[in-house]
Chains A and B, each alone.
Chain A
Amino acid sequence: MTALLDIKDLRSYYGQVQALHGIEFHLKEGSMTALLGTNGAGKTTTIRAICNMVRSTGTIQFEGKPLMGKSTESIVRLGIAHVPQGRGTFTTLTVEENLQLGAITRKDTKVIASDIEKMYSYFPKLKERHTQQAGTLSGGEQQMLAVARALMLRPRLMLLDEPSFGLAPLIVRDLFGIIGKINREDKVSILVVEQNAQLALEIADQAYVIETGRIVMSGSASDIVNNEDIQKSYLGH
């Protein structure tokens, strides 16, 4: 198995404050990997660092190509879609325009329309509202829109930042169901950051645990679920 994403000795800084202290992990092609940890552990920082949205040092390789020093937009153009925390909706644009923006860098303009239809089949709610301003959608719908917008890139890798944040449990189930399906059927590798460890471990095959800017544990999702420390600190058993 080749590593799609390979991260070594990643250190990130917010001003003078160091948030990551040498993170190392890799992500296999086609896998669904979860990045777990408490509030403030550095999960979000890690995936923001992948897209060069925080000042960092170390090496990050995507399909063997170094990402460090590339601009956010050129990293995205390599096929890395990032669903940011807070969803990053273009609130004043329509739902459909949001989806078109997801594909704005693609050259194959002819199939974009059919991809939009495909997103509507994943998320029928979005179709109902496709001419509405995206800011009028509910939180759950905006999260679906954010995922759909990311998929419009036809990414190799999708980075999901706390997709469950602020959503009702039922909606979260739905959303994670679809994310799992995208991973299996569309062969999109996924790195998901979650505070809700239980949920993430249900659909992930690999998992890493971050504490205060360091990876403290890694393994297959089933190993992590059964680990006693994890059960105590993250799963509440």
Chain B
Amino acid sequence: MELFINQVLAGISTGAIYACMALAVVMIYQAIDHLNFAQGEMAMFSTFIAWQMMQWGVPYWWAFILTIIVSFLGGILIERLLFKPLAKAPVLTNVAGFIALFAIINSVAGLIWDFTIKQFPSPFGSSPFLGSQLISTHQAGMIGVTVVLLIALFLFFRFTRVGLAMRAAATVPESARLVGINTSWMIALGWGMASAIGAIAGILVAPVVFLEPNMMGGVLIYGFAAAVLGGLSSPLGAVIGGFLVGIFENLAGTYIPGVGNELKLPIALALIITVLVVKPNGLMGHTVVKRV
């Protein structure tokens, strides 16, 4: 029983990483209706920007804030330059565009910062949290930041006019235009916000997984899985999904014999799919009635 509780705790702390990434995934999915495969790479690039600033002597929190701003603007820029021209292209063509962006960012980051692993500092330190060996102060801090972010997003979407306009543009774009909302800019804004949230996720994840151009590959997959599990339309669902995926992963590694590190991911995914087969819209997603 103690092993079980310990594994659940460990799962929650890795889950925080996935939750944070899943928030970014849901954010962009809400804005553009696709999963952005390049999102992890964008987050990785943002994290390198923060690292570079700290190398230049910028204090942690300043680098943190500046990186978020730069990422927000960068996200908007990517949308305006690369994806606005594809707005009328088929969905799958857009997905191919994400893969292209993935390749470009990964390769450019490798060229600028090379592929050696870099240490990334944590503002929370890495001592045991409340005396528990399983969860460090950094991981506790990460959970805290994720929760704060979630609340901030909730307030933004619920109580601001821009948030309302973004939700409207995402649900029925044509009607949104008919009440005077510039839906094209709402999409750009969605990219900017997703990019900024991704930057936060990257900065929080980097002390755990170490900074290098491929650091987000695995994290993004879990982030997608968490977002899908949560229902893709709900930030709260994404966070819950993130924690659940973390717990699944740890329990599968502990209790299913023969599961090494390598099969953890497929098993976690298989569990998620089982959930989806039972509940095809995810845990928190709303059912969309299909009509002819």
Question: Hey, which bits of chain A sit against chain B, CB under 8 A?
Answer: 51, 53, 71-74, 76-77, 81-82, 84, 88-93, 97, 100-102, 104-105, 109, 149, 153
Contact = CB atoms under 8 A, between A and B. Distances in A.
Contacts of B174: 53, 84, 88
Interface stretch (B19-27, B78-86, B160-168): B160-168
A101 B165 CA distance: 7
Contacts of A90: 167-168, 171-172, 175-176
Given A91-B172, A104-B179, 20 more contacts: A53-B174, A71-B177, A71-B182, A72-B177, A76-B179, A84-B175, A88-B174, A88-B175, A89-B172, A90-B176, A93-B168, A93-B171, A97-B164, A100-B164, A101-B165, A101-B179, A102-B179, A105-B180, A109-B161, A153-B180
B199 to A, nearest CB: 28
Interface in B138-189: 161, 164-165, 167-168, 171-172, 174-183
21 contacts: A51-B178, A73-B180, A73-B181, A73-B183, A76-B178, A76-B179, A84-B175, A88-B174, A88-B178, A90-B175, A91-B172, A92-B286, A93-B168, A93-B171, A97-B167, A100-B164, A101-B164, A101-B176, A104-B161, A104-B168, A153-B179
Contacts, number: 68
Contacts of B177: 71-73, 76
Which range holds the interface residue count of chain B?
Answer: 10 to 19
A91 B171 contact: yes
A84 B177 CA distance: 11
Given A90-B168, A93-B167, A93-B168, A104 B175 contact: no
A44 to B, nearest CB: 13
A131 to B, nearest CB: 13
A186 B171 CA distance: 31
A100 B167 CA distance: 12
B98 to A, nearest CB: 25
B168 A101 contact: yes
A69 B161 CA distance: 27
A212 to B, nearest CB: 26
Nearest to B185: A73
A76 B165 CA distance: 15
Contacts of A76: 177-180
A85 to B, nearest CB: 11
What are the nearest 4 A-B pairs in CB distance? A88-B175, A105-B180, A76-B180, A72-B177
Contacts of B176: 90, 101
A70 to B, nearest CB: 12
Question: Which residue, of B164, B172, B180, has the highest number of chain A Cβ atoms within 10 A?
Answer: B180
Question: Which residue, of B167, B168, B174, B178, has the highest number of chain A Cβ atoms within 10 A?
Answer: B178
A90 B161 CA distance: 15
A175 to B, nearest CB: 19
A12 B182 CA distance: 23
Contact of B182 (A73, A88, A92, A93): A73
B171 A104 contact: no
A71 B175 CA distance: 14
A167 to B, nearest CB: 18
A190 to B, nearest CB: 16
A77 B180 CA distance: 6
Contacts of A102: 179
A76 B175 CA distance: 11
Contacts of A109: 161
Contacts of A74: 180
A171 B239 CA distance: 44
Contacts of B183: 73
Interface string B48-75: 0000000000000000000000000000
A92 B157 CA distance: 13
Contacts of A153: 179-180
Contacts of A97: 164, 167
A91 B170 CA distance: 12
Contacts of B179: 76, 101-102, 104-105, 149, 153
Contacts of B171: 90-93
Contacts of A149: 179
Contacts of A105: 179-181
A88 B164 contact: no
A163 to B, nearest CB: 15
A71 B184 CA distance: 11
A89 B161 CA distance: 18
